[in-house]
A = this chain, B = another copy of it.
């Protein structure tokens, strides 16, 4: 019996300040949207990243990839679909699909590593790993 992948959708409306001279969502802001999306996915699982960090488990980004297919514009409502692709004792990999009206406009991948306050790699806590495949 296979477990369903952990996955969640959020909607984000493109803010004026996030556009650029071309009139498009500036490409750096996709990373901010991805971050918000995985935070909300964590919340769906009954955890908050703020608590994790306050307990000394910091998740730092070690790798990111984004492929931009169609531009997003000011005031567009985008869906960011986030999937946990892989979890190791120390790392979490996510995939992101950015959709507008059901059409894929960008996709991304990130790798996060768990570190302590000094930035040293450490194992993800048990209470995190137990939750990771259970959506509320």
Residues of B within 8 A of A27 (CB): 31, 61, 64
A74: min CB distance to chain B, Å: 5
Q: With A20-B20, A35-B15 in contact, do A60 and B68 touch (Cβ < 8 Å)?
A: yes
Mark contacts of A1-42 with chain B using CB atoms, 8 A cut-off: 1 yes-contact digit, 0 otherwise: 000000000000001110111111011110110011001000
So how many copies of this chain end up in the complex?
A: 4
Interface of A is mostly: mixed
Please count how many residues in chain A sit with their CB below 8 Å of the partner chain's CB atoms.
38
A128 to chain B, nearest CB (A): 17
**What B residues does A65 contact at CB under 8 A?**
63-65
B60 touches A22 (CB 8 A): yes
